[in-house]
Structure 1
Amino acid sequence: MAAIVSSGAGAQTQPAPAKKVLVAYYSHSGNTREMARQIADVSGGELFEIVPVTPYPSDYQTVVDQAKREINAGARPALKTRVDDMSQYDVVFVGSPCWWATVAPPVATFLTSYDFAGKTVVPFMTHEGSRMGRTEADIRKLCPKSQVPDGLPVRGGAVGSSKETVRRWVEGLGFGK
């Protein structure tokens, strides 16, 4: 992207300042973490792991049941980690496993813990068949003063072979380094 800069004697084209990118994610099984790494590699973004104070159980059915209860109750679990200065970022990729058609509760906590006004908040999801669910609409409600483009869903089992898909998506959004 180029900016027109007036120098009095005429206009010059100069590169626009690079967007500062954060890639924030919550990962339960490691799939979303791997996808976040791929996005950071393409975008040049800084990685930030969203970590709840109380870890989720590893047993699949137990975590599914807990997630359903928390999502239905609008729970916002406390987080161990915090971004020191969110104001420095222009673009925030936000990743989560798709739990009950939306983001995991720690991601909802993250999205309600900062002011995203004027920022671009880009969702990405790992899933096992539900794709994005209603995630984009939910993030738009949680971050009403931000731009939320369509996200990228990748099946958890395919994350390891998704590097080219991720690269094309990030570059298509205009956030490749």
Structure 2
Amino acid sequence: MTNLNEEKCLVAYFSRASNNYVSGKIVNLPVGNTKVVAGMVREITGADVFQIDTVKSYPKDYSATTNVAKKELNDNARPELSSHVENMDSYNVIFLGYPNWWGTMPMPVFTFLEEYDLSGKTIVPFCTHEGSGFGRSEKDIAKLCPEATLLKGLSIHGSRVGAAKKDVTDWLNKLGIIS
């Protein structure tokens, strides 16, 4: 296997600030949980960072966002992204971060994965959640990117992201991405 700590890496993540469900209640997050973890991965690996963002913003209200997210999932929608990775070919390892929405990735992450040919690349997922872990998102990634190598991901409970740096470090170490 390739020595992953010598590969050019990208942290691509989708995250949502504003009203979020954390530990059983709605709280206002100035920075989305997944963005916090993406920052840890970037800091530890030195990878480049790309935020997956949509042309049409999600509502600030949590319930309104969950309704939009459920409709997108039911419609198998592919929301338009506001920016794109110009030099995707130069990356060998993609750390893919997202919150668990309705048992999988938010639909903009589906858009992102379908936008590039990730054949031969290594995808390393990480997910924030409020008790549902990865749901079926890893299966969905494998379906969308059948020619990519999918490594064991890390799921982090949203209320724990602030204290997750050791978990992130241990996970990257175990995968051989850092030593």
Give the alignment's TM-score, normalised by structure 1: 0.89
Q: 1:16 to 1:101 in 2, by over 3 A?
A: closer
Residue 62 of structure 2 is matched in structure 1 by 60
Match of 1:28 in 2: 16
Alignment partners' CA distance in 1, 2:4 and 2:44 = 19
Partner Cα distance (1:51, 1:125) in 2 = 16
- Identify which of structures 1 and 2 has the higher relative contact order when contacts are C-alpha pairs closer than 8 Å and 6+ apart: 2
Is it true that 1:89 corresponds to 2:77 in the alignment?
no
The correspondence for 1:147, drawn from 146, 149, 161, is 149
Distance 1:116 1:146 in 2: 6
Displacement of 1:102 in angstroms is: 0.5
Distance 1:54 1:157, change over 3 A: same
Q: Which amino acid aligns with 1:153?
A: S
Give me the CA root mean square deviation: 1.7
SS at match of 2:150: coil
Alignment match, 1:106: 108
Q: Distance in 1 between matches of 2:173 and 2:43?
A: 11
Offset of residue 26 of structure 1: 0.6
Q: Which residue of 2 aligns with 1:39?
A: 41
Deviation at 1:150, TM superposition (A): 2.0
Structure 1, unaligned runs of 5 or more: 3-14
Maintained 8 Å contact 2:5/2:177:
no
> How far apart, in 2, do the equivalents of 1:163 and 1:70 lie?
32
2:18 counterpart of 1:18: no
TM score, norm. by length of structure 2: 0.88
1:119-138 correspondence to structure 2 within 5 Å: 119-138=121-140
Give the secondary-structure state (helix, strand or coil) at the position aligned to 1:58: coil
| Identical pairs, percent | 45
2:76 equivalent in structure 1: 74
Q: Distance in 2 between matches of 1:58 and 1:95?
A: 20
